[in-house]
Amino acid sequence: MTLPAYAELHCLTNFSFLRGASHPEELAERAAQLGYAALAITDECSVAGVVKAHLAAKQSGLKLIIGSELRLDDGMKLVLLARNRAGYGNLTALITLGRRRAEKGAYCLLRGDFEGWNGGGMPDCLALWIAPREAAEEDGQWLAGHFPGRAWIAYERHLAADDAEHLAHLRMLSQATGLPLAASGDVHMHSRARRPLQDVVTALRLHTSVDHAGHALFPNGERSLRPRVRLARLYPSELLAETLRIAALCEFSLDELRYEYPDEVVPAGETPATFLRRCVEEGLLRRYSAGVPEPVRAQIEHELALIGELGYEQYFLTVYDIVAFACGRGILCQGRGSAANSAVCYALGITGVDPVHGKMLFERFVSKERHEPPDIDVDFEHQRREEVIQYIYRKYGRERAALVATVVGYRTRGALRDVGRALGFERARIDALTASLSWWDNREDLPARFQAAGLDPASPRVDKWLRLAAEIRRFPRHLSQHVGGFVISRGRLDRLVPIENARMAERSVIQWDKNDIDALGLMKVDVLALGMLTTIRRALDLVSRRHGRPFRLQDVPLEVPAVYEMISAADTIGVFQIESRAQMAMLPRLRPRRFYDLVIEVAIVRPGPIQGDMVHPYLRRRDGLEEITYQSEAVRGVLERTLGVPLFQEQAMQLAIVAAGFTPDEADQLRRSMAAWRLKGDVGSFRDKLVNGMRDRGYTQEFAERLFRQIEGFGEYGFPESHAMSFALLVYVSAWLKCFEPAAFLCALLNSLPMGFYSASQLVQDARRHGVEVRAVDVAASDWESTLVAGRQTAQANATAVPPAVRLGLQRIAGLSQATGERIAAARVKKESSAGAFRDVADLARRARLTRADLDLLAGAGALARLAGHRRQAAWAVSDVPVQGDLLAEAPPRDDKVIPQGRVPAFASGVFPSVITLAAPSEGQNLVADYASLRLTLGRHPLCLLREKLTALRYAAAAQLHALASGCPARCAGIVTGRQRPLTAAGTLFVTLEDETGYANIVVHPGLVERQRRELLGARLLGVLGVLQREGEVVHLVARRLVDHSELLGPLATRSRDFR
Amino acid sequence: MSLTAARALVPTLNVVVRDMAREAAAIAALACWAGSFTPRISLVPPRQDQAASALLLEIGACLRLFGGIERIVVAADAGVAAQGYSLRYAVAPSAQGALWLAQATEPVLCGDAAALSARLAALPVATLDLPPRAVARLAQVGVRALADARRLPTAALARRIGSDAVAMIARAFGELPDPRPAFVFPAHYGADLELPAPVDNAAALLFAARRLTAALAGWLAARQSGVSECVLHLRRPRQPATALALRFATATRDAMRFERVLRERLERLVLTAPVEALRLEATGVAPLPGHSGDLFEASHGAHDMATLLERLCARLGETRVHGLACRAEHRPECATATVAVAQGDNGTSGSTAPRPLWLLARPQALREHAGRPQRNGPLQLLGGPERIESGWWQEGELSGASIGDVRRDYFVALAADGRWLWIYRDNRLPGGWFLHGFFS
């Protein structure tokens, strides 16, 4: 028997969330393996999985058809298939219509939606009717009328008892309506081995367990891609043949999608090329008032020529338009990533890296060989990015601009939780298991975690739990919005890809994610948010105001030695990028002295260089401990600026080109596959090519192998040099601000929180150690945000030389609303000229329209000190002040006489004074209240109060550790402010302890992590007994034993920030 | 600390969720028991925001009867312990004062107002069940102990923490009357007790039943009555309850006597399954005469189905008579469930595919000849296949009822003798044909 040809026309992937049980790639690969003539991906009202299937199908030479399964609101179920580009556009527009009508995750389509199209139904689409057992003839008539000659009745055989009757019924319908029959499979999984997972997702969809899902589960595994030999037995041959006829009618491929740039960024009378040229020339005048340097001019001409050749002018102009809008509004922004390789981007103000500084690798950004558009990512001030987003929506409209989707998939914890539910484990059991999973646990530890939660990993159901949870990991669960990737098109975007509602009102997302967009060559503009830009802009504003003249980014003096000295001493709390513990440990060793050192610093403390073992060779060469050698002149050209050690992604690519004979295109593939290696471990082919290529060119095997290991180490974590440059700029500027305008810098940081590694408390402590005066939150002086105020005049200094102080804002009070804080500030300013500040608490409450709860918060923060005395006195005072809300609430008696005699007798006889004096709180009580309300204190550090006890327990202060020699046993205790377990550290956990003298860095090795998990996770005040380890100026305490001393803190509220 | 955090620290943490309904039932039963001390009882029902519920016993009037505070306390402690509870208590001139002291401290006896005042003054306000806002406010102004609060002017304090809170404090110190709602003894006595774990021996049952008999004794004492008959119902999983009637020759409310009779009955009882709950009902309370006597009288409708089923159950044993109901399951073995006789149709619809009326308890292997199944000659396949593949989740869990993952193709087959059979081919190894049921 010869195998019949077959095209599967009805197939769902796991992008029909909780319905399909296979990845699109798995389905395409399996269909190709089985020798199917074509495969249609028809997810329910979605094309979210088609790009992934398209790429896999292309690789295996399978014809892919794009379609969608739709259930109309009256229950009719259709599969629509796109015949050509027009039909595809109609389909995506219909999906958009159905999705935008319903809330996120749902859709709604009516029969009426098929009226009014020119040509009826959905032009250029084919329809399969998935007729139910009791299908009515009228439905078929309707379909035949709306899809003349383009509709079929699907016979889907899954070995039910009544298959023969069903087929007979469909044949009758076919005769009555004239719709031909075709075979299809209603495929939900690529292989019948997915049956367990299929049942699990079904149970999850119905919020039940597999034991109780009953008939909702499929009765068997027939909804899989079946071998053609089986299909031949199941279906009449003419029905199989019909599938080929249908597939032949579908000629559309995703490769046909042509993206068109929006054209309104070019004014009338100009071509994109002339206008881009004009913008660039204007920009060059701004950037180089003294004339454009020759190499820059050449670079510009080179780039413009390439841009023109590839037709990317409108893309640059689109980004320029957005950036120009932001600049016009005073919103700080800066391009990141490979755009920093472009002089054109610099001229347009998109990036800040002067092409004079570095070696531009424009081909990394725009390449003739690669048929893909450039990718410009722009960071905007975090707090004002929304203005930019709304500008884009306003300018292009919601039909033409939408955010890229992010596919939210199952991760370990969610997979365990959901599979556990589907397998009928009790909630408490599941909670116990997932709660005991820590942020650092690896998947390999799972069996141990099961055991710890009292579950036997060997029991059959627990074993299934583990296996199915592993299988469902990375399954997509829903579409969310990308952080800032916009797709903007010339025509209607919904004819390119369906648009859905996002969870956030006023946002819409397309059904494709970033990888899909990249694969299809659509243009994306990343409108990202960067907190440090907010800080820098705020600090610059504060400096400008204080000096009475504008102080801009470009006014920051470059290459100031004092800045580098500060950085080299690792005095970098609050500075962009180089404030983490790992960065701080590197700074004293690298001792940056110029801008390019910062670029290296940013790039070197990354998993890539660390795993590729590049850090130590670089440092040794820099310190002159190792000879710098180059294997050839070509290699010298690539690696000279990093002393012969490849540190950047670009260098790895260039080496592959100059030393191993890769084409630029191949080198780029190499870069991309670096990211994939970690996932698939498929390195063989590139390894051979690289090593052989280098040997052929006369390099030693050993050098080639080492280079390969280094490239491999980059993995997905390698840092492009251009990106490091953009970041290094912000590093320098923020460091300069910290060095020369510490008060403004602190103030700006506080107003931009949360960001970076440090809490407000740590930032304030650091600034005060640097002599910045910080004043308490005070209703009589504080605004909502922290402010820069005049410092205390001393006799000898004149006014401008007095360093400013920072007044903490009302914002620091936990629980106080912004509106309230702003009302207080506004009320004070209004009256300040005439009546002066608030007279008393009652005056404050009346003028700022405060509620009782507001007053309590202010009293608790100590912000009423000037009006009502210490905290307790203030609390006593505010609780009796009339406030607005009292009119509605039960009015407390205003006068003692009102209390009925005998109801509430005086507690004790005696005459009370009219003004009650309450005992002032102790220092410790104040501290606790400070932390509870402000999460920081301007008083002494909590550990100052405990120092005597800690000394008695023989704990040293953090600062004392620095005086010890390496190898000394040492003990230290402090408040846990951070726990970190980097991927590169092989299970070692880093803990940061804080005391009144600074920070102590603790290293906890994996064995101890397991043994003292409880102390590590639970302690707020941790005592560490260990051995000191010193490398230059960097000191670590390697823990041997941990002691939880949290009880010493009492109710003090502390917080730790935990990182992976 | 949140439960999640606690679990992160102790992964094997065993969490028991507080059951307010059972707690309320338990405190009501204890209130009945406390009737043996005094008829004037007030009950502080369990509240989600409070650690424990409480009983208030007004004992001023019965001190002489019992011979002093200490004796009452000792008797109460022993009575509570006998029922398997532990007691925290305080004796004080004010109800609120006694409550707070009982909640906050070791057992304490305050004979007079001065002793009470001294004890109360030292209590930290944070531990009292004052309104949460009042507690927060007092903390803000630095008031730690009740004594600190008493130093503040009453009216000013009332404006700040509310007059309710101030009144509560005043009541505790006995400065305001403290009327409490009296516990109303139920008109008929019937109390349930869920056992914490199933019990299968008489001694343990007897111990558990003590809670019920103690409560009954208290209830009778408060009503000045005795009981001539009461019934103890033993409930077991999936079985009708067993009723043990305890009859007394004369009316009594002597707990010892209850226990003696009960012990005799329990020791003779054969427990076929562990008991998970008890119910005690006072059916004959003296001096009320002529209580309904038709409990075991056969009467109306002797021929209806229910009576028949009852008789069948009585003759054959309850475990041997049961009904059948549909279960939504693809696997034929699991598509029906046996249910208790009393339970009717559960509304689950069965499979729409053809299913034989008679399903074999265990599929019978069929011989195979030339690829065709045989049963007294070759079988003719009429319909099918219907493929059933399901049940993987039970695979490996070989308890009695579990058949694990099945993979079968079912056919309707006609046998040589004209019978219609339901047969299947097993697609799992080693395969083969099986007879699973008869249509006719």
Same structural domain, A168 and A128 = yes
Q: Which tokens sit at A950? A: 């800690």
Mean pLDDT check: name the lowest of A277-291, A533-547, A782-796.
Answer: A782-796
Q: What is the mean pLDDT of each run of 10 residues along chain B (440 residues)?
A: 64 75 85 85 82 85 79 86 85 89 84 86 86 86 86 84 87 86 82 78 81 83 80 82 77 78 77 82 64 38 56 66 81 81 57 82 89 88 88 79 85 88 90 89
Enclosing H/E stretch for A746: helix A742-752
Q: Which residues contact B32 (CB under 8 A, 6 or more apart)?
A: B185, B186, B189, B191, B215, B216, B218, B219, B222
Percent of residues, chain A, with pLDDT higher than 70: 90
- d(Cα A129, Cα A878) in Å, to the nearest integer? 72
Task: Check residue B292 and give its pLDDT.
Answer: 33
Task: Check residue A64 and give its pLDDT.
Answer: 96
CB contact under 8 Å between A452 and B11, yes or no, is yes
- d(Cα A750, Cα A160) in Å, to the nearest integer? 67
Give the phi and the psi of residue B228 in degrees, each rounded to 5: -105, -20
CB of B286 within 8 A of CB of B224?
no
Same structural domain, A356 and A469 = no
Closest to A10 (Cα-Cα) out of A135, A170, A184, A179: A184
Which residues share a beta bridge with A1029? A1036
Q: Which residues contact A388 (CB under 8 A, 6 or more apart)?
A: A322, A325, A326, A331, A333, A380, A527
H helix count then E strand count, chain B: 13, 16
Look at strands A524-530 and A376-381 and give their pairing: parallel
CB of A1000 within 8 A of CB of A993?
yes
Task: Check residue A81 and give its pLDDT.
Answer: 96
Q: How far is CA B437 from the centre of its chain?
A: 42
Closest to B344 (Cα-Cα) out of B328, B358, B324, B327: B324
Is this structure's pTM higher than 0.95? no
Same structural domain, A151 and A217 = yes
- A contact test, residue of B3, B150, B389, B399 with most A CBs within 10 A: B389
Instruction: Give B-chain residues touching A925 at CB under 8 angstroms.
Output: 142
Task: Check residue A358 and give its pLDDT.
Answer: 56
pLDDT tens-digit readout, A93-109: 999 999 999 888 899 99
Of B150, B166, B392, nearest to A904 by CB-CB distance is B166
A562 within some domain: no
Task: Check residue A674 and give its pLDDT.
Answer: 63
Interface of B with A in 322-351 (CB under 8 A): 327-330, 348, 351
CB contact under 8 Å between B142 and A872, yes or no, is yes
Angle at A153 between CA A147 and CA A154, to 5 degrees: 130
CB contact under 8 Å between B167 and A904, yes or no, is yes
* Residue A888 in this model has a pLDDT that exceeds 50: no
Interface of A with B in 880-939 (CB under 8 A): 880, 892-896, 899, 902-908, 912, 916, 918-919, 921, 925
Distance from CA of A715 to the nearest CA of B (A): 33
Instruction: Give B-chain residues touching A199 at CB under 8 angstroms.
Output: 390, 392-393
Q: Which tokens sit at A951? A: 């000394």
CB contact under 8 Å between A449 and B328, yes or no, is no
Using alpha carbons, list the distances in angstroms from residue A482 to A486, A515, A525: 9, 12, 11
Q: Which residues of A793-808 are buried (b: 16+ CB within 10 A; e: fewer)?
A: eeeeeeeeeeebbbbb
Same structural domain, A428 and A378 = no
- d(Cα B318, Cα A232) in Å, to the nearest integer? 55
Q: Where are the domains of chain B?
A: 19-172, 190-286, 298-352, 354-438
- d(Cα B65, Cα B72) in Å, to the nearest integer? 10
DSSP state of A214: G
A546 within some domain: no
Interface of A with B in 985-1004 (CB under 8 A): none
Q: Which tokens sit at B54? A: 């409480």
Question: What is the number of other CB atoms lying within 10 angstroms of the CB of residue A857?
Answer: 21
Strand residues in A314-381 grouped as ranges (E): 333-336, 376-381
Same structural domain, A995 and A1010 = yes
Task: Check residue B128 and give its pLDDT.
Answer: 85
Residue B232 is which amino acid? L
Task: Check residue B305 and give its pLDDT.
Answer: 64
- A contact test, residue of B94, B117, B140, B426 with most A CBs within 10 A: B140
Same structural domain, A146 and A208 = yes
- B contact test, residue of A133, A206, A212, A215 with most B CBs within 10 A: A215
Question: Contacts from B184-188 at CB under 8 Å and sequence distance 24+?
Answer: B185/B32, B185/B35, B185/B39, B185/B219, B185/B222, B185/B223, B186/B32, B186/B219, B188/B281, B188/B282
CB contact under 8 Å between B327 and A158, yes or no, is no
Instruction: Give B-chain residues touching A438 at CB under 8 angstroms.
Output: 8
- d(Cα A969, Cα A959) in Å, to the nearest integer? 15
CB contact under 8 Å between A432 and B141, yes or no, is no
Q: What is the 3-state composition of chain A as percent helix, strand, coil, each rounded to the nearest 5? A: 50, 15, 40
Residue A409 is which amino acid? G
CB contact under 8 Å between B176 and A904, yes or no, is yes
Closest to B191 (Cα-Cα) out of B217, B212, B220: B212
Same structural domain, A518 and A627 = no
CB contact under 8 Å between B163 and A893, yes or no, is yes
* Residue A13 in this model has a pLDDT that exceeds 90: yes
Q: Which tokens sit at A929? A: 């209240």
Closest to A467 (Cα-Cα) out of A480, A454, A450, A481: A450
- d(Cα B296, Cα B74) in Å, to the nearest integer? 43
Same structural domain, A513 and A612 = no
**Listed residues A458, A473, A488: the one ending a domain:** A473
Enclosing H/E stretch for B267: helix B255-268
ipTM for the complex shown: 0.71
Distance from CA of A991 to the nearest CA of B (A): 17
Task: Check residue A897 and give its pLDDT.
Answer: 38
CB of A349 within 8 A of CB of A327?
yes
Instruction: Concatenate the DSSP letters of all residues of A852-863 into one string.
Output: HHHHHHHHHTTT
CB contact under 8 Å between B155 and A214, yes or no, is no
Residue A534 is which amino acid? T
Same structural domain, A129 and A245 = yes
Residue A388 is which amino acid? V
CB–CB contacts below 8 A, A to B? 173
Pairwise pLDDT comparison (A364 vs A991), residue with the higher score: A991
Task: Check residue A911 and give its pLDDT.
Answer: 47
CB of A428 within 8 A of CB of A214?
no
- d(Cα A797, Cα A794) in Å, to the nearest integer? 6
DSSP state of A224: B
Peptide bond into B287 cis (omega under 30): yes
CATH number of residue A178's parent domain = 3.20.20.140
Interface of A with B in 157-176 (CB under 8 A): 158-162, 164
DSSP state of A112: G
- d(Cα A171, Cα A131) in Å, to the nearest integer? 11
Q: Which tokens sit at A244? A: 């080929």
A725 CB-contact burial (10 Å; exposed 0-12 / middle 13-18 / buried 19+): buried
CB contact under 8 Å between B353 and A161, yes or no, is yes
Q: Which residues contact A282 (CB under 8 A, 6 or more apart)?
A: none
- Of A169-183, A578-592, B196-210, B361-375, where does the model show the most confidence? A169-183
pLDDT classification of A718: cutoffs 50, 70, 90 = low
Same structural domain, A458 and A488 = no
Instruction: Concatenate the DSSP letters of all residues of A870-937 into one string.
Output: SHHHHHHHHTTS--GGGGTSPPPPSSGGGSPTTTS--SS-SPPPSS--PPPPPHHHHHHHHHHHHS--
Mean pLDDT check: name the lowest of A453-457, A715-719, A777-781.
Answer: A715-719
CB of A1026 within 8 A of CB of A969?
yes
* Residue A407 in this model has a pLDDT that exceeds 50: yes
Same structural domain, A113 and A146 = yes
Task: Check residue A564 and give its pLDDT.
Answer: 94
Same structural domain, A1043 and A1031 = yes
pLDDT tens-digit readout, A468-482: 998 998 899 988 888
Task: Check residue A340 and give its pLDDT.
Answer: 75
Could you tell me the residue range of the domain that residue A356 belongs to? Answer: 272-407+480-531
Mean pLDDT check: name the lowest of A59-73, A182-196, A541-555, B320-334.
Answer: B320-334
Distance from CA of A858 to the nearest CA of B (A): 12
Of A162, A460, A1014, nearest to B353 by CB-CB distance is A162
- d(Cα B31, Cα A885) in Å, to the nearest integer? 43
Q: Which residues contact B117 (CB under 8 A, 6 or more apart)?
A: B173
Q: Which tokens sit at B179? A: 């009327």
Q: Which residues contact B397 (CB under 8 A, 6 or more apart)?
A: A460, A461, B404
CB of A775 within 8 A of CB of A894?
no
Total structural domains within chain A: 6
Instruction: Give B-chain residues touching A906 at CB under 8 angstroms.
Output: 153-154
Q: Tokens 């914490």 sit at which residue?
A: B196
Instruction: Give B-chain residues touching A876 at CB under 8 angstroms.
Output: 140-141, 160
Interface of A with B in 570-629 (CB under 8 A): none
**Any alpha helices (H) in B35-131, and if so which ranges?**
63-66, 69-82, 95-104, 113-121
A927 within some domain: no
CB of A494 within 8 A of CB of A88?
no
A602 within some domain: no
Task: Check residue A512 and give its pLDDT.
Answer: 93
* Residue A817 in this model has a pLDDT that exceeds 80: yes
A572 within some domain: no
Q: What is the 3-state composition of chain B as percent helix, strand, coil, each rounded to the nearest 5? A: 35, 25, 40
pLDDT tens-digit readout, A889-937: 444 444 443 334 344 444 544 444 556 778 888 888 888 888 888 888 8
Closest to B328 (Cα-Cα) out of A202, A314, A428: A202
A249 CB-contact burial (10 Å; exposed 0-12 / middle 13-18 / buried 19+): middle
Strand residues in A521-669 grouped as ranges (E): 524-530
pLDDT classification of A418: cutoffs 50, 70, 90 = very high
What CATH number is given for B190-286 in this structure? 3.30.1490.100
* Residue A1047 in this model has a pLDDT that exceeds 50: yes
